[in-house]
Chains A and B, each alone.
Chain A
């Protein structure tokens, strides 16, 4: 499957590779195909539980099965007995003092194995199991560690999907800053304009006040100038008469 990917990639990349003469060796590397066969022994097959069956501890079972069709069950035993008697009678096997020591040693060994074989086998099996359990632990720990790393990687990949929150926040901040500066400048503009307009208004007010004062002064001066001596005497006499009238009224009022 990977080879197909490489081939398609090479096919799409080939036009641009052909144009670039510098990448000649690269094109050759890209078209080589690796690992096309099915992987053999990929999960290593487990060890068989028991070995080949052996009878009497010496002769494999296949021999008995080989002779079974022709001679039945007792065939190989008869063959063994016959061979032993033949060797003894023809003295192919010579009976020496060593024979007796051999017989006693072999007898002792057989007895010992028959008696203690099973317990020794159990003990060794337990040792084996401990070793296997240790290795299994290491394997499980390694698997777990790799899975943890995968989880971490996935979560970090997921984080990159959430980058847009960061960018949104930054965009919001920038927009707010822009808004704030805009409003500040607007306010400044308003203040400046108001300042100018206030200036004009105050100038106008001042002008009007000055004109008013000037006019009043001028009117007063003219009126004072226009009052001749005679008019002054007449007005003073009239004022005195009015005052006398008012005083009479005032005297009359409290009595009522």
Chain B
């Protein structure tokens, strides 16, 4: 990455945390993903696949609280 680990805190402080800045950050992230995997001539299914996998993981994390009760063993 372009930011070194030691400079991470100072780099985070330079970021723009206004609503406009956060919107801009989401827009930039979306545009980056879109232009790399979807807005191409011969796109593969991986572009959509990664988004779906991320959604699956996210929804699993959200419903982990109920799934905890269906564990087979109590102590791991």
Contact residues of A with B, CB < 8 Å? Answer: 47-52, 54, 57-58, 60, 89-91, 93-96, 113, 117, 121, 125, 128
Contact = CB atoms under 8 A, between A and B. Distances in A.
Contacts of A89: 76
30 contacts: A47-B39, A47-B40, A47-B41, A49-B41, A50-B40, A50-B41, A50-B43, A51-B40, A51-B42, A51-B44, A51-B46, A52-B36, A54-B44, A54-B47, A54-B49, A57-B49, A58-B49, A58-B50, A60-B50, A90-B76, A91-B72, A91-B73, A93-B60, A94-B70, A94-B71, A94-B72, A95-B72, A96-B70, A117-B45, A125-B42
B46 A48 contact: no
B53 interface: yes
- Classify chain B's interface size: 20 to 34
B72 A51 contact: no
Contact of A51 (B43, B53, B60, B70): B43
Contacts of B43: 50-51
Given A91-B73, A91-B76, A94-B68, A54 B42 contact: no
A94 B67 contact: yes
Nearest to A48: B40
Contact of B71 (A47, A91, A128): A91
B72 to A, nearest CB: 7
Contacts of A121: 42
Contacts of A128: 41
B46 A58 contact: yes
Interface in B38-66: 38-47, 49-50, 53, 60
Nearest to B46: A54
A90 B74 CA distance: 10
A54 B50 contact: yes
Contacts of B76: 89-91
Given A49-B40, A54-B46, A94-B70, 10 more contacts: A47-B41, A50-B41, A50-B44, A52-B36, A52-B37, A54-B37, A54-B50, A91-B76, A94-B67, A94-B68
B68 A51 contact: no
B49 A48 contact: no
A57 B68 CA distance: 29
Interface in B1-49: 36-47, 49
Contacts of A48: 40-41
A96 B37 contact: no
Contact of B36 (A51, A90, A93, A125): A51
